[in-house]
Amino acid sequence: MYCYSAYQLCLHSEIPLSGLPSANGEPDVIVRLKDSKEHPAPDLSNPAQDIRGRLAGIGKCRISDGKFITITPFEGVTHEMIDPNVLGGCMSVILRQRGFLVLHASSVAVQGNVVAFLGHSGWGKSTLAAALHTHGHSVITDDVLAISLEDIENPIVVPSFPQCKLTPQAASALGKDPASLEFLYAHSSKRAYHFQTGFQQEQLPLQSIYLLSKGDSHSIIPLGFMDAFAYLVSHTRAMDVLRDNQSLKVHFQQCTQLLKQVSYYRFTRKPGLEELPDLVRMVEEHVQEPSI
């Protein structure tokens, strides 16, 4: 078994998982491969804690009890092909089974608090987080943002692992040589930017969420509660599989609780990597502005 750390959990895995720091300890999460001829494990009584489905082009999977990820790969599927599915969709389900609100977002520590960037794939979440990293701010998550709401008045972001996903063009714009970065996975155009420093390893409170948008000029404007709620729901991870009534009820409660405690903005940016220095400056200045 390989042993790693991510989201302050100890992961034991039968396959190598790229980008995760090594760890020791009893497993909080176990990743295993299963032969299609093995007998299936018995069902759990709680459907939200026993998710079964398919990973497109990879195989069947079962994610259960906030601890077990079991994958039955199709013939010819390699460990490298399985890896990003474990760290993305599968871990999103695990984290939600453990009670976290999990958003499709990247986040950075700025002045002791966390600012998060919410948006669909390709909207620049990772690039903006990496740009802030190059300006001395610590990345706390990339793409999968886990928020603890155990204390409903103090939402806390749990650090993931020290990596950002970048296109070759974004890497070049940030002063990185794309040829020196490994591919995120086979047949992917994106690169994995692993960093040795500038990773926030401790939990921090969430201060602001920025919904990324594109436009003709740069602006940051507050969003009303209903708009913010709708965007939070639509950018929550694993919504397609955790659809039972209890999961939906808990999820809506979490979104409502979160919006009562954090500031929520629409961050409109002109497209173009040459705009990154201005965007970094805007975020730094906006975080310093007093809340009204």
- Are 86 and 118 members of one domain? no
Q: How many domains does the chain have?
A: 2
Cα 272 to Cα 218: distance, rounded to the nearest angstrom = 12
Give yes or no for a contact between 127 and 215, defined as CB atoms under 8 angstroms apart. Answer: no
Query: How far is C-alpha 232 from the chain's CA centre?
Result: 14
pLDDT for 36: 62
- Are 131 and 272 members of one domain? yes
Q: Burial code of 157-196, b = ≥16 C-beta within 10 A, e = fewer?
A: bbbbbbbbbbbeebbebbebebeebeebbeeeebbbbbee
Residue 80 vs residues 53, 68, 75, 186, 292: alpha-carbon distances, Å: 20, 19, 14, 7, 48
187 has a pLDDT exceeding 80: no
Query: What end-to-end distance do the CA atoms of the chain give, in Å?
Result: 51
DSSP assignment of 16-70 equals --TTPPB--SS-SEEEEE--TTSPPPPPPS-GGGEEEEEETTTEEEEEETTTEEE
Q: 191-194 and 163-166: which strand pairing?
A: antiparallel
**What pTM, to 2 d.p., does this model score?**
0.93
28 has a pLDDT exceeding 60: yes
What share of the chain has pLDDT > 90, as a percent?
A: 84
- Are 148 and 84 members of one domain? no
- Are 111 and 184 members of one domain? yes
Cα 174 to Cα 273: distance, rounded to the nearest angstrom = 9
290 has a pLDDT exceeding 80: no
- Are 144 and 215 members of one domain? yes
pLDDT for 186: 74
Q: pLDDT digit string (tens) for 127-181?
A: 999 999 999 999 999 999 999 999 989 999 999 999 999 999 999 999 999 999 9
Domain boundary among 56, 83, 98: 98
**Sign of the CA dihedral with 52 first, then 55, 61, and 64 last:** negative
- Are 133 and 251 members of one domain? yes
- Are 120 and 145 members of one domain? yes
Domain boundary among 61, 81, 98: 98
- Are 45 and 166 members of one domain? no
- Are 76 and 166 members of one domain? no
With cut-offs at 50, 70 and 90, classify the pLDDT of residue 271: confident
Q: pLDDT digit string (tens) for 101-116?
A: 999 999 999 988 999 9
Cα 156 to Cα 189: distance, rounded to the nearest angstrom = 33
Cα 116 to Cα 211: distance, rounded to the nearest angstrom = 9
- Are 82 and 135 members of one domain? no
With cut-offs at 50, 70 and 90, classify the pLDDT of residue 123: confident
pLDDT for 94: 98
Q: Edge-to-edge strands of the sheet including 191-194?
A: 163-166, 191-194, 182-183
Domain that holds residue 56: 2-98
- Closest CA relative to residue 146, chosen from 102, 86, 179: 102
Cα 254 to Cα 248: distance, rounded to the nearest angstrom = 10
CATH assignment of the domain containing 262: 3.40.50
Mean pLDDT of 186-191: 85
Q: What does the mean pLDDT of the chain come to?
A: 93
pLDDT for 185: 79
Domain boundary among 98, 113, 131: 98
Cα 78 to Cα 75: distance, rounded to the nearest angstrom = 9
- Are 211 and 276 members of one domain? yes
With cut-offs at 50, 70 and 90, classify the pLDDT of residue 43: low
pLDDT for 54: 93
Mean pLDDT of 204-233: 96
- Are 85 and 116 members of one domain? no
Cα 125 to Cα 275: distance, rounded to the nearest angstrom = 14
